[in-house]
Amino acid sequence: MPICIPDSLPAVDVLRNENVFVMTSTRANTQEIRPLKLLFLNLMPKKIETENQFLRLLSNSSLQVNIQLLRIDQRESKNTPVEHLNSFYCDFEDIREQNFDGLIITGAPLGKVAFSDVVYWPKLAEIITWAKDHVTSTMFVCWAVQAALNVLYDLPKFTRSQKLSGVYQHQILQPNAILTRGFDDTFLAPHSRNADFPIDKIKNYTDLNILAESEITGPYLMATADKRMAFVTGHPEYDSFTLANEYSRDLKAGINPEIPYNYFPENNPDLTPKATWRSHAYLLFSNWLNYYVYQLTPFDLTTRNLTIDD
């Protein structure tokens, strides 16, 4: 949460120049508080597992957040009971006229599938476009980053020759960026994707700020200057055993995958992996909720098109 200090205190300007969030007494005295409305578009096959992973991270905040689960369509799921979907998920048509403080769009196992071959691509493109006027800040995760770059910046799909899987070291590029506030200069985060995000394409064809990257994985955290969109190319939400389960699944499928990088102790799949990225993941979501959503969102969400004051 921000610190609240007198308007005329010299520290106000000093701290703001360092990109430290400060709330003046004037603003604090006129601020009204309400629960945040967060929309969660779950594209992963194992809906319940993914819900648990993301909600765990979102819960690590003093803010009250009301979650609305959203499904892309009503097709039958092989991994989630239909009763669960019908009970807890809504369809886009149910919320199309509403506004939300935040939206998270998850990854999907579609790294090798052309956008035109994704059965729900038109609906997803519609939701991404809709969010620009109806959501204060949207977070795209893994494959959703690739989808958003195509819809918003007309970037084509870039596919890696070999799947990226493992836990990689990343570097902070902008020390005062509020999305990475509190991060160590270097931090670990898991990746599991066939998608590629060439740094030259990001720099030359988008207006995104690259906040963290890895020499191996490329850009990891990116955001628009107005904080309306955040892009996470990895999977900070993953549990300790998620990569192990994916590796075992691919082995059984005869894909002959490589052992996830820097994940199993001694690079031995028989040994129990540890979550070495958990603290960074909690901090990332806490920062996004606080600085990209809560501090920017208007108190009144009933306006059709969201306008956000600086």
Q: What is the pLDDT of residues 166-220, one digit of tens each?
A: 999 999 999 889 999 999 999 999 999 999 999 999 999 999 999 999 999 999 9
Cα 143 to Cα 27, 58, 66, 99: the distances in Å are 38, 20, 25, 24
Mean pLDDT of 110-126: 95
Cβ–Cβ under 8 Å, residues 179 and 230: yes
- pLDDT reported for residue 299: 84
Q: Per-residue confidence at 30, pLDDT binned at 50, 70, 90?
A: low
**Is there a binding annotation on residue 46?**
no
Nearest-angstrom CA–CA distance, 169 and 66: 33
Q: Which domains, from first to last, does the chain contain?
A: 32-294 (3.40.50.880)
Mean pLDDT, residues 90-109: 96
Spatial separation of the C-alpha atoms in residues 9 and 270, rounded to whole Å: 58
Q: 107: closest CA among 188, 4, 191? A: 191
CA atoms of 299 and 210, how far apart (whole Å): 29
CA distance 222 to 63: 24
Q: How far apart are CA 288 and CA 295, in angstroms?
A: 10
Token pair in block for residue 162: 């070999």
Residues assigned a catalytic role = 142, 235, 237
Average pLDDT over residues 259-280: 97
Which residue did the predictor score with more confidence, 33 or 261?
Answer: 261
Give the model's pLDDT for residue 282. 94
- The predicted structure's pLDDT at residue 78: 82
Q: What are phi and psi of 193, to 5 degrees?
A: -160, 150
**Predicted confidence band of residue 87 (pLDDT cuts 50, 70, 90):** confident
pLDDT of residue 302: 80
Going by pLDDT thresholds of 50, 70 and 90, the confidence category of residue 310 is: very low
pLDDT at 305 > cutoff 80:
no
Residues 247-268 pLDDT 10s: 999 999 998 899 999 999 999 9
Torsions phi, psi for 97 (to 5 deg): -85, 0
Structure confidence at residue 62 (pLDDT): 79
CA distance 134 to 70: 15
> 192 a known binding residue?
yes
Q: How far is the CA of 229 from the CAs of 14, 41, 73, in angstroms?
A: 27, 15, 23
